[in-house]
Structure 1
């Protein structure tokens, strides 16, 4: 193609030179001069027309390619191009065809992946028009057809407010179900796309529940065995003293005062162990069956200050710096059961103070903020809780202390749950933080 272009230029230049020479030669003859000038003008005009047509064709081709329109490559239009052009255009056509096939293949592959996900997936635009929704999503919301977001917000429990909360919180656990709603905003070229996902966390919850039961059973087994071991040992000793080789009771005259005193001591120990086991069972019942919260509107700042007042003496003795922060900076009123939340705060603050018993410049910070829930952060600068202990910190009867029964934090977690909230903990060097949400 380049050779043809250069040949045309050379021929045109040669013709112009020849015509120029003829003009000079016949300049004394006006008619011949006019004829040659017209020929030069015609030749230049012809070349300009060819150039303009080629330029227009190139512009049309570029615009068509930009619009992914290859209709100009049909048989009729092909005749307008020379063989070199046709060869180049065929290569473009093959490239576009391959790219389109690859794109369709990838799109089908992605559709197949999305369709076969257990997670429900739905995408929609700013106007609520649904681009794509997989079967899992429709099944989870109990809709056979979903073409617009209004169908979702009007016919299911997933309201517009819940979707907005999911965008704000990244993930939202739906009430009365084991579904978690997540929302994301994505940008694609000049278009904004919104992504909703619904995930069934039943298996995860069952696994956590099973793990919790396993931990609890281990603790219960440990406590019961500790209580039963001395009972079995002492009762065996008493039987050996009071029966013969055939396990028949010995006559009364075989018992002296020493044997009687020993058996009385054994019975007292057995009674003490039995009382301990009964107390253990009662404690377990107390954390497994909490009363229904009696909700009251409470001034949170005053409530926390009253709670701290109960530790005034130990705070003074340990010289603990106390900092109470109201993030809202206005009076915060929130509904909760004051008796239960008092028990929860008391346990956590007590543990924090005990953790800082050997710390210089000890500091206890209580920060609270009310949004949709009341969130209370209780932070101390005591030593870091080891990771292995942190895993079991809310397991009933788990304790690393010499005193205590290990139900305080387990009870706190249950109290948060009956308030439809949560209790969590993080611990790093010189910072342990409990977060209560109610």
Structure 2
């Protein structure tokens, strides 16, 4: 049965008088039931907004409210909730508490059922509109803030990388030339005095220093000149690297276990791939040094799903789950004297070779897994 057309827009003056007389009671009852954070910087405005919403509903019943009025109040409250950094769920809960209390008040006003239905419908509609616009505006502001933070973070990373590039160029220029001279003179000494002690150790230390400098070189614009890709046996390169690292392995008292397929070859920039393996193995040695013996590193190389897989595992401390991806970010390091660029450069090199570098870690072991394309032509 439809409502009497003559009553559809009629709100008796008695209900308005009733609401005006009970305004303070409504605000008091509402505040007692709302969720309020003492850290809210706008907590004093919550009561004020309650009065404004109450007035909005009274004017709604008098048909003197426009949609702009609703949006104005909704946007004001949304902005304050964002600034207060309050959970939007708490805000929605408080709005609906106000709705429930207001309808209970209306039910006590003594209006007939037809008029009551019209009044409750108007109240619900206005609360729904207010809540929708407030939450929408809140979400829009929050999203805008997130975008600004993302842009800031991205720009900060770019700025840091640009500074690092400038530092790397200067670093390489200042250190590489004298280092090359020292390496050359060391080779002359080996030729003239083949039995002279410690020349092998000096050469290994110089090579490691050269490797560290090369790390910085790959982060600068100077790393634009590349050697061509070549096809090489993977196990030969790994054996060469282990031989190079032998002093560090012995000094750290680390046990190295290898399981590599001597038939596997890849096509890549050999020096860059060597840099990745060196860096990952250096990190593994540093990791196992944090635990008691036995200190173990396991190196595996195999074919899986037509990909070359290299796994370097160590029994050092577990890397927390939230850090396992962060360690590949530039400038992130857990080492006291670390630069935070080693693994970042490694991942960039592997990705440039259409590969993938990942990390997994638990209480038993930490594994760095490198996946590269399998060279079927020369298999």
Structure number with the bigger relative contact order (C-alpha 8 A, sep ≥ 6) is 2
TM-score bracket for the superposition, by shorter chain length: 0.3 to 0.5
Please identify which structure carries the higher strand content: 1
Q: TM-score, normalised by structure 1?
A: 0.36
